[in-house]
A and B are shown apart, each in its own frame.
Chain A
Amino acid sequence: MENSKFINDNFINYVSKVSPRTNEVRTLFRAFWVGGLICCLGQSFRMLFENVFSLSDDVLAAYVSMVMIFLGGLLTAFGVYDRIGKYAGAGSIVPITGFANSVVSPAIEFKTEGYIYGLASKMFVIAGPIIVFGISSSVLVGLIYYFIYNVL
């Protein structure tokens, strides 16, 4: 099907010219301070685990992200995280709590379609790509390094 016969480039240009824009400075500032604050929260857990439980550096990051995922999930379950997201934008999407939010929010929402076909199967509708691309790229990195270490 040829679509070009009805597409009106003048109109597209006009629309993109007059479209309202986001208030850049405000959104950037909000993303900065909320994102920074969430990272600081993570850092305080890191210090706590380091000093109180004397965890080693290797597992420290893993435990911190576990706690942050818990908090992100908890705030999602209480219906707070979407409000933070509305205010902070990327400031609450990019931290690992945002990953938790993107797992928990569809799981909660699609519970109405049942535990198997709803909750469980829809859990990764948004976060699925992270797992797919993350693990695939890590395998690629592993193979490249294996090649470098053992063949070269």
Chain B
Amino acid sequence: MKYTIIILIMSFCASFQTTAFAQKKSERDQYTITVEGLGCPFCAYGLEKKFKEFKGIKHIKIEMETGVFTFSFPADKPLSVEQVKNQVEEAGYTAKSTVIKRTDGSIEKDELIIEEKIVSEDAVVLKDDFFVAGNCNMCAARIEKTALKLNGVFKAKWNKKSKMLTVEFDENSTTISAIEKAIAKAGHDTSTAKADDEIYNNLPPCCLYDRK
């Protein structure tokens, strides 16, 4: 009798563990990423292809108008926010926000917030514009974000047609030359700063502006 009870308890535990494991395996976390500047289907589907490197990815959906990219992934091998952001960047994009809804109800979130900068009293605000090579809305997002991330830059707007970037910045904190260098580091040539070939070649297809 004693042995029967022990065997029964052991088989109950084993079956409970198997069920829990199977349930965990079938459960999927939900990922929502907002990418700026999506507009060209060839590049957008390329982003999707990049994420297919994560084996087990399913329910992929891209909304071109809003730039919202969603998918599910097995909960038993969760992707971190950093992994997701890196994959987006490797595909040449900038993630505006990343939200992961885990199966236990918890939410992990990361947002690229460019805070509205307060212009200090002693700031010397200058407005200037300069040439930045680029092609598309994705380029615009990358160029403007790069400039706005810099300390002392208050406003940045790139014109797709004229290829001119208009910036407002504090002369005490930064210079046009520093802004141009930062933008070149992001892959876009300016009149005085040239992007490294490797960075340029890693831009998404539609961002590959003519360098002649």
Chain A partners chain B:
no
List residues of chain A with CB under 8 Å of any chain B CB.
none
